[in-house]
Amino acid sequence: MESDSGLIRYRIVAQRTDPAHPGASVVTNYTYARSVEEAVAKVRRAKEKPGGLYGDQGLYRVVEAVEESPQSEARQLQGARGRFLTAVMDAAVAALDDQPASARPELIEALSEFFFDTVLTRAIVSPDSGEDNAQLHARDGEVLSRLLLAHLADHGLDLVEASAGTGELHALPDRHTGVGRPSLRDEESDAPAELIERVLAVCEQHYAAVTGTTSEQWDQESSQELVDIALRTVHLAEPETYPQTLDAYLHEHRARLERLWRRYGPGGMFAGELVLIDLPGSFALCERIETTPLWLEGIWTKHGQEETALERLQNSWLYDTGEEDGR
């Protein structure tokens, strides 16, 4: 910070040169000056004179002189960020240089452009820092792209790319199996009828227990449609175990489901606001809302469903069913 006279506050750190000296190994002093050179000179004059803190001249040597001001703190943070980024990129290059790229070159090129132009220059590095100070290189985008693809592959996730000219979506090959794996990305494929029935049966069992209604009161066709949409957001490796996963989720959240029904079901304070609450399949949507919300929204819209219906269920399930509501 600056004093009233316009001088800048500096922190001067000196280190002991003689290990045998009984004094402190490091000594820190503060002073006001117009420049770092003037600050160091002032401290030396005051501390190296006979009887001063430094004692005999040469016993301590200055190892750090830092300006203490908001501007200097910002510069130090920016410099530290740049050094950290450089260290990360150097380590990534060392780890990936000997490995072949795990995806097609055009995909890496597209991701590289995104990382370099969007993430690095706009988020990690402040706009006024300049490319030289930021120490950004074209290789950085490629390295980050390859790291992302490797991370996704390790977690068994597919990335989607569009075929040139058609806009058709395809799942990229999985590194472990060597073949593309359809899931949500294969949006035109209906879930197997047997799986829909199994999941719907789980929903109906919990729905009957929560609402006290029976199958004669449910719209079976509409409920099956909800389950089909929910299943399109289940990864290919999971469908066979999804009924058990859903059953466990609904058991765990029984109290929340009951609060949701009391609030939005017939006779509730907000009866009629959630059209989906009348269908057992809505219970599968509740689980998907917490597990794959963005994925579910995309499928819901693509299949021409009313957006506000899902949005209202999402908001109600996430924010109106907590224990603190007391319902």
| Helix 254-264 with 307-319: angle, nearest 10 deg | 120
pLDDT (0 to 100) of residue 252 = 96
pLDDT tier for residue 44 given thresholds of 50, 70 and 90? confident
What pLDDT digit, counting tens, does each position of 83-129 carry? 676 677 677 667 666 555 555 566 666 666 666 555 554 444 444 44
pLDDT above 70: percentage of residues in the chain: 57
Higher pLDDT, residue 306 or 174? 306
Decide: pTM greater than 0.85.
Answer: no
DSSP-assigned letters across all residues of 287-325: HHHHHSHHHHHHHHHHTT--HHHHHHHHHHHHHS-SGGG
307 CA to centre of own chain: 25
- Specify the 3-state DSSP secondary structure of 44: helix
pLDDT (0 to 100) of residue 157 = 58
For residues 115 and 152, what is the distance between their CA atoms, to the nearest angstrom? Answer: 16
What the block records as the tokens of 169 is: 């979506």
Buried b (16+ CB within 10 A) or exposed e, 199-220: bbebbbebbeebbebeeeebee
- Name the nearest CA neighbour of 196 among 276, 277, 281: 281
pLDDT (0 to 100) of residue 182 = 39
pLDDT (0 to 100) of residue 26 = 86
pLDDT (0 to 100) of residue 126 = 43
What pLDDT digit, counting tens, does each position of 133-164 carry? 444 455 666 667 777 776 666 655 555 544 44
- Asked if 140 and 149 touch (Cβ cutoff 8 Å), the reply is no
pLDDT above 90: percentage of residues in the chain: 28
Q: 3-state DSSP helix/strand/coil percent for the chain, to nearest 5?
A: 55, 10, 35
CA angle 254, 260, 265 (to 5 degrees): 120
Query: 39 — phi, psi (to 5°)?
Result: -65, -45
As a whole number of Å, the CA-based R_g of the chain is: 32
pLDDT (0 to 100) of residue 177 = 33
Q: Average of pLDDT values for 62-71?
A: 77
What pLDDT digit, counting tens, does each position of 193-220 carry? 999 999 999 999 999 999 999 999 999 9
pLDDT (0 to 100) of residue 59 = 74
pLDDT (0 to 100) of residue 107 = 62
- Asked if 66 and 72 touch (Cβ cutoff 8 Å), the reply is yes
DSSP-assigned letters across all residues of 57-114: TTSEEEEEEEE-SHHHHHHHHHHHHHHHHHHHHHHHHHHHTTS--SS-HHHHHHHHHH
Residue ranges in 127-240 assigned as alpha helix (H): 131-134, 138-154, 193-211, 220-231
Higher pLDDT, residue 23 or 173? 23
